Amino acid sequence: MANLIKCPTCGKQISSNAISCPNCGEVINSKMSKPAGAINMKDPVHFVGVVISILVILGVIVACVGTCTNSL
């Protein structure tokens, strides 16, 4: 018989037999765990971090292009 456990990511009650959380998709079963360094894009903190990183990279590219064209 399965017990109810708390999902480590979203905190919802799920079956101890579940492979992943039906609410947030977090992998629960250790045999099916995510590879090291995998990012859960459903987690708002990770999503915001990726968006900010992309914006910073684009800003650096635009600044470099602007500097290069001004020096010609």
Q: How confident is the model over 4-61, as pLDDT tens digits? A: 988 888 989 998 888 888 999 888 865 444 555 666 667 778 888 889 999 999 999 9
Structure tokens at 69: 């064209």
Is residue 37 within 8 Å of residue 24, measured between CB atoms?
Answer: no
DSSP 32: G
CA 19 – CA 17 distance, rounded (Å): 6
Residue 44 neighbours by CB under 8 Å, 6+ apart: none
The owner of tokens 């292009």 is 65
